[in-house]
């Protein structure tokens, strides 16, 4: 059974609908990431689950108990929901030292003094904060403050962890470290976690399940793999991935008894239902799926090929990102091996493997056109 059930909730602020009929069931132990641009309603949804805000419509249940219901006006305040929350700003209390900050949740539970001391000490060690108990928050580095905020939540042993962009105030290097740390905590404790972020890398790195939100609605709800490899619509396709996914406008048509995509110099066999023939669509493929066709290499007979001139070349450590001008005026983003020797001005040919191409309806946030076989498998399940 789901431990958190979000049932058709709505939250409005004046004219703006911040959360628009959102339903999510979260099973015990799941690590769910709410991902989306700022203003998409992800933090509001989190605050509704935490009880820091009240839904205008719908119902939220935690552990089978109704904690907020717009219809029956039931509302359980945060202090009786058994949740833990890590804030973006950490919200450490400046007038308390690290020990007192962490001990607060246990003080509230009126635990005996000795137990508090032991559990805080244990948590300090677990979070690698040994010896910092007497310090005050302003005497800590950003990373240490982050650890204290996590420790403060962990020590109280809540049933659900809520995290609101906890890493966004850290520099890139620390952020990587803390991601690993968060994974370790989840592995150790296996606690249900809802994690809010606008950082797609973070979402994909951490979440076993990602819920992409836009304008208060759920845009896609799936595994990290799904969201990255099979974005449900153009919004998700564009939002996830850096450099962004390549999109080519074109048309579907039947040739030699097979459906094909034509457009902007690209011709790809398309595994889409026959009913879509003649439709305007967008072909989408990730920059890392594009391969450079060098002189020696040879493409398969029907492998789609694009030709263009390298306009920019950026070293990104483990690989190289190239922006290529196509004759149609469009640009193509390509990620290739760091050892490639091509430079700006080189005229190159590129192969786009047909299995890596997805097709979307040509509309604002057009949805993914599923292949016939896949659609059937879905309906079976």
Partner 1 sequence: MTRMDARSEVVRRERWAAPRAALRWLTTPHVALSLVLLAVLAIFVIAPIVNIVVDTFTWQSGDTRFDRSAVAGEFTLFHWTRVFAGPLTRRILVEPLLNSILTALGATAVALFIGTGLAWLLVRTDLPFKRVLAPLAFVPYIMPSYTLALAWLTLFKNQRYGAPGVFEYLTGIAIPDWFAYGPIPIMIVLGLHYFPFVYLLAANALLSVDRSLEECGEVLGASQWLVLRRITLPVILPALLSGFVLCFARVIGNFGTPYFLGAPIGFMTLPTQIFSNLGMRFNGVAYILVLILITISALAVLVNQRLIGVRRSFATITGKGFVTKQVRLGWWKVPALALIGGTMFFAAILPFGLFGIQSVMSRLGVYSVEHLTSAFWLSSGETITEGRPGVLVSPVILRALWNTLRLGIAAGAVAAVLGTLIGYASVKGRGTPLAKALEQVAFLPYLVPSLAFGTLYLALFIGGFGPIPSLYGTFALLVLACTFRNLPFAARTGHATMMQVSGEMEEAAQTLGAGWFYRMRRIIFPLVVKGMVAGFTFVFVTSVRELSLIITLVTPETMTLTAMTLRFEELLLVQFSNAITVLLIAVTLVTVFILNRLGGRFGAQRSPV
Footprint of partner 1 (CB under 8 A): 50-52, 69, 71-75, 77-85, 87, 89, 91-95, 104-105, 107-109, 152-153, 156, 158, 162
Tell the smallest beta-carbon distance from residue 87 to partner 1 (Å). 5
- Closer residue to partner 1 in complex, CB, 93/375: 93
- Closer residue to partner 1 in complex, CB, 109/242: 109
Residues 228 and 360: beta-carbon distance below 8 Å: no
Closest-CA residue to 270 (of 283, 281, 279, 261) = 261
Tokens (6 digits) for 123: 């948590």
What is the CB neighbour count within 10 angstroms for residue 112? 9
- Closer residue to partner 1 in complex, CB, 153/310: 153
Tell the smallest beta-carbon distance from residue 292 to partner 1 (Å). 50
Tell the smallest beta-carbon distance from residue 64 to partner 1 (Å). 12
Tell the smallest beta-carbon distance from residue 93 to partner 1 (Å). 6
- Closer residue to partner 1 in complex, CB, 80/347: 80
- Closer residue to partner 1 in complex, CB, 51/263: 51
Tell the smallest beta-carbon distance from residue 105 to partner 1 (Å). 4
Closest-CA residue to 8 (of 23, 20, 19, 18) = 23
SS (H, E, C) 22-61: EEEEEECCCEEEEECCCCCCHHHHHHHHHCCCCCCEEEEE
Buried b vs exposed e over 167-189: b needs ≥16 C-beta within 10 Å?
Answer: beebeeebbeebbebbeebbeee
- Closer residue to partner 1 in complex, CB, 79/379: 79
Tell the smallest beta-carbon distance from residue 109 to partner 1 (Å). 6
Considering all CA atoms of the chain, what is the largest pairwise distance in Å, rounded to the nearest integer? Answer: 80
Residues 12 and 53: beta-carbon distance below 8 Å: no
């Amino acid at each position: 059974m789901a431990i958190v059930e979000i049932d058709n909730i709505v939250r409005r602020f004046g004219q703006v609908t911040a959360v628009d009929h959102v339903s999510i069931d979260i099973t015990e132990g799941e690590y769910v990431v709410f991902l989306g641009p700022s203003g998409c309603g992800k933090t509001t949804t989190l605050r509704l689950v935490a009880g820091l805000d009240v839904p205008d419509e719908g119902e939220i249940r935690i552990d089978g108990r109704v904690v907020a219901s717009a219809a029956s006006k039931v509302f359980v305040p945060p202090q009786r929901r058994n949740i833990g929350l890590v804030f973006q700003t950490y919200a450490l209390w400046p007038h308390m030292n690290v020990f007192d900050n962490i001990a607060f949740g246990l003080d509230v539970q009126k635990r005996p003094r000795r137990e508090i001391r032991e559990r805080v000490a244990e948590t300090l060690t677990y979070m690698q904060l040994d010896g910092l108990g007497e310090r005050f928050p302003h005497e800590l580095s950003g990373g240490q403050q982050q650890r204290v905020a996590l420790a403060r939540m962990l020590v109280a042993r809540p049933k659900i962890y809520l995290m609101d962009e906890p890493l966004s105030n850290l520099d890139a290097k620390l952020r990587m470290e803390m991601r690993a740390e968060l994974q370790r905590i989840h592995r150790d404790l296996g606690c249900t976690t809802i994690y809010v972020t606008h950082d797609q890398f973070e979402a994909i790195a951490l979440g076993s399940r990602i819920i992409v939100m836009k304008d208060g609605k759920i845009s896609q709800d799936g595994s990290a793999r799904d969201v990255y490899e099979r974005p449900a619509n153009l919004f998700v396709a564009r939002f996830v991935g850096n450099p962004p996914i390549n999109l080519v406008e074109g048309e579907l048509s039947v040739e030699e008894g097979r459906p094909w995509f034509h457009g902007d110099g690209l011709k790809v066999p398309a595994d889409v239902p026959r009913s879509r023939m003649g439709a305007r669509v967008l072909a989408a493929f990730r920059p890392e799926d594009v391969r450079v066709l060098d002189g020696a290499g040879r493409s398969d007979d029907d492998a789609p090929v694009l030709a263009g001139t390298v306009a920019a070349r950026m070293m990104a450590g483990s690989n190289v990102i190239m922006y290529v001008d196509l004759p149609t005026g469009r640009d193509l983003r390509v990620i290739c091996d760091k050892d490639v020797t091509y430079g700006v001005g080189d005229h190159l040919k590129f192969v786009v493997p047909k299995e890596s191409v997805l097709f979307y309806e040509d509309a604002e946030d057009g949805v993914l056109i599923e292949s016939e076989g896949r659609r059937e498998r879905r309906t079976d399940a």
